[in-house]
Amino acid sequence: MEMTTAVSSLSALAHEGRLRAYRLLVQAGPGGLAAGEAARRLETPANTLSTHLAVLGHAGLVQSRRDGRSVIYSARFDRMGELMAYLAEDCCGGAAEVCGPVAAAAARSRCLPTGA
């Protein structure tokens, strides 16, 4: 990942509304969530959510697809993985006492299988 891509991704997430929308899509999983349902769950006007999703999409963090009359948005887990790897790439020269909290947070996430 290039630095400009990382900055774009971090900038897109640096807004409470966009971060809430992204986290909701992460929770929804790969199948994603219809835009209207996301707006309802976030208690956000549809036009505001549309703007947030456009910014996230431009940064490559979400993708959309049509399903009938609905637009389904989903998080791009590959891009978030690249961003996280970029941020921790040379984590303090591999010092376990420094990188340990980052690894522990990843282990606590629901994405990793037990024992990973």
Half-sphere exposure of 106 (CA within 13 A, CB side): 11
Specify the pLDDT at position 72. 98
The set of residues, in sequence order, having a beta carbon less than 8 Å from that of 5 and lying 6+ positions away, is: 60
Specify the pLDDT at position 110. 62
| Residue 56 near residue 18, CB atoms below 8 Å | yes
Only one residue has tokens 């999703």, namely: 53
Supply the pTM of this predicted model.
0.84
Specify the pLDDT at position 115. 45
What tens-digit pLDDT sequence spans the chain (116 residues)? 899 999 999 999 999 999 999 999 999 999 999 999 999 999 999 999 999 999 999 999 999 999 999 999 999 999 998 998 888 777 677 677 777 777 777 777 766 554 44
Specify the pLDDT at position 94. 67
The region that residue 95 occupies, defined by phi over 0 for left and psi between -120 and 50 for alpha, beta otherwise, is beta
